[in-house]
Amino acid sequence: MSAPASEHPVAVFDLDGTLLRGDGSARLVRRLIFRDWYRAAAALALAPLLAAMFFLPIARRYALTAIIWLATVGLTADRFQALVDEFAAGHAAQANQIPVVLDRLRAHLGAGDRVVIATGCVEPLATAVCRVLGLHPVEVIGARLSQGRNFVWPSRACGMWSALPAATGPASYGIEKVRRLTAAGITLPVAYAYTDSPADLPLLLAATHRFVIDPAPRRLRRIQVLAGPGCTALRSGPARPAAPRARAGRGARPPR
């Protein structure tokens, strides 16, 4: 009988900029808006107002809601999911993957670790991307959407989809991830954390082994000052490195 999930080491991965290049949620919303001329026209007409709202933290939630409503109004739940799946197939294509981190994730799975994707990407897209990449049995903690009759809107958020109070800053994104990991029954500190974003500093501090993906030298120095010199940079590079080989039993531990 296998051990309970809580007894396994936990490895937490960001998605955008860590497993895949680019901002998946923003690209999806843009695709949904520009698939119809009237949505695109409305978005362009409202762009100055919505952009101004994004600079006011108290109004950011309403701007996000308006954008997502514009992108999805008229879509049934099944149609929305079909469009998400179609987008995910292209977004997760090999050219957009970051192989060195995907190899790490698969090594963790092979070792029997509990793997969690904690991301600001909307959950339907993050789940679809994991399905395309064949990442099973990862858990996904992402930005939640609520389904209306013929549209969706942001529900509980994680990452860039948070509606931040005026007094908070980007670090709130990472704090929300840590809160949701705890809510999922995950004991801190986790064993491993992988991210590309300084906003995930709270997540890095909640991990024993910390990895930052493709940081600029200046950004890496800043993160290492705050998270400690044990925070390691991983470089994607042009070539796909070989994945660690699994041993008998629980399998090979990912290299540190």
Three-state SS string across the chain, please? CCCCHHHCCEEEECCECCCECCCHHHHHHHHHHCCCHHHHHHHHHHHHHHHHHHCCHHHHHHHHHHHHHHHHCCCCHHHHHHHHHHHHHHHCCHHHECHHHHHHHHHHHHCCCEEEEEEEEEHHHHHHHHHHHCCCCCEEEEECEEECCCCEEECCCCHHHCCCCCCCCCHHHHHHHHHHHHHCCCCCCEEEEEECCHHHHHHHHCEEEEEEECCCHHHHHHHHHHHCCCEEEECCCCCCCCCCCCCCCCCCCCCC
Query: Residue 238: its pLDDT value, please?
Result: 57
In CATH terms, the fold of domain 5-234 is Rossmann fold (3.40.50)
Assess contact for 173 and 16: CB atoms under 8 A. no
Query: Residue 249: its pLDDT value, please?
Result: 42
- Token readout for 208 is 């024993």
Query: Residue 36: its pLDDT value, please?
Result: 94
Which residue ranges in the chain fall short of pLDDT 50? 1-5, 157-171, 239-252
Task: Choose among 256, 212, 255, 205: nearest CA to 236.
Answer: 212
Query: Residue 148: its pLDDT value, please?
Result: 78
Question: Using CA atoms, how far apart are residues 148 and 250, in angstroms rounded to an integer?
Answer: 44
User: Tell me: the pLDDT tens digits for 115-155?
Assistant: 999 998 999 999 999 999 999 889 999 988 888 788 887 87
Query: Residue 242: its pLDDT value, please?
Result: 41
Question: Using CA atoms, how far apart are residues 22 and 176, in angstroms rounded to an integer?
Answer: 21
Query: Residue 227: its pLDDT value, please?
Result: 80
Query: Residue 3: its pLDDT value, please?
Result: 40
Query: Residue 171: its pLDDT value, please?
Result: 45
Assess contact for 199 and 215: CB atoms under 8 A. no
Assess contact for 117 and 130: CB atoms under 8 A. yes
Domain segments of the chain as ranges: 5-234
Name, in order, each residue with C-beta under 8 angstroms of 97's C-beta and a sequence gap of 6 or more. 19, 20, 21, 133
